[in-house]
Amino acid sequence: MKYKGSCHCGKIAFEAEGEIKEVMACNCSMCGRKGSLLWFVPREKLRLLTPEADMGTYTFNKHVIKHRFCKTCGIHPFGEGADARGNKTAAINIRCLENIDLSSVPVRHFDGRSL
């Protein structure tokens, strides 16, 4: 299935393709503050529909995840990194997707605070 998403103001718009079977809620210092519900897809399944120049990037700790955010409204629609095997991955914040019933998606809690 193909999903459309964006930040609040629309300067970052994207499409992501795949099946949302579950999402992750992480309690690390970054995710805990953002409140993201993350759906992981191969990076090639995320297609940016707006200029990359409108995005800001924040990294912390080991600087391996690019936390992407809108320079105008501040919303964090996704992050980019790699999985344990080195495959490029996108972590989509499903709160930024259109027409998603959040209560119907299983949430797996991850203790990122302990890493």
CATH number at residue 58: 2.170.150.70
Domain that holds residue 42: 2-114
N-terminal to C-terminal alpha carbon distance within the chain = 33
How far is the C-alpha of 9 from the C-alpha of 92, rounded, in Å?
17
pLDDT at residue 50, as a whole number = 94
Measured CA distances, 104 to 7, 20, 76, 93 (Å): 22, 10, 22, 15
| Number of domains the chain is built from | 1
Is the pLDDT confidence value at 22 over 90? yes
pLDDT in tens, 26-83: 998 888 898 999 999 999 999 999 999 999 999 887 788 899 999 999 999 999 999 8
